[in-house]
Amino acid sequence: MKSRRFGCVISGLVWVAIFGFTNFGLALGDPVDRNATNPLAIAFWVEIAVLIVGAFLFYRAQMKDGEF
């Protein structure tokens, strides 16, 4: 397996694990104070943004390289 493919697999698995733990934390419920900001909700949207930006950058690199 090429090192680039192996790196993609590892980064994908790490992202899935972090995303799963964040969703698990969100499933446990909101903070006691209803007016408090839930840091897991912020982390959820940051993870979505990181996925989209990372996928875009990877796609651009692959279109220039063409060797995957």
Region of residue 2 (left: phi > 0; alpha: psi -120 to 50; beta: else): beta
Number of domains in the chain: 1
* Residue 40: Cβ within 10 Å count: 17
Mean pLDDT of 17-46: 79
Distance linking the first and last C-alpha atoms of the chain: 11
Residue 58 lies in a domain: yes
Pull the structure tokens for residue 60.
């651009």
Q: 11 lies in which domain range?
A: 7-65
Residue 68, pLDDT above cutoff 70: no
Residue 1 lies in a domain: no
Residue 52, pLDDT above cutoff 80: yes
Mean pLDDT of 39-57: 84
Give the CA-trace dihedral at 58, 13, 10, 68, to 10 degrees. -40
**Most confident segment among 14-18, 25-29, 35-39:** 14-18
pLDDT at position 59 is 79
Residue type, 38: N
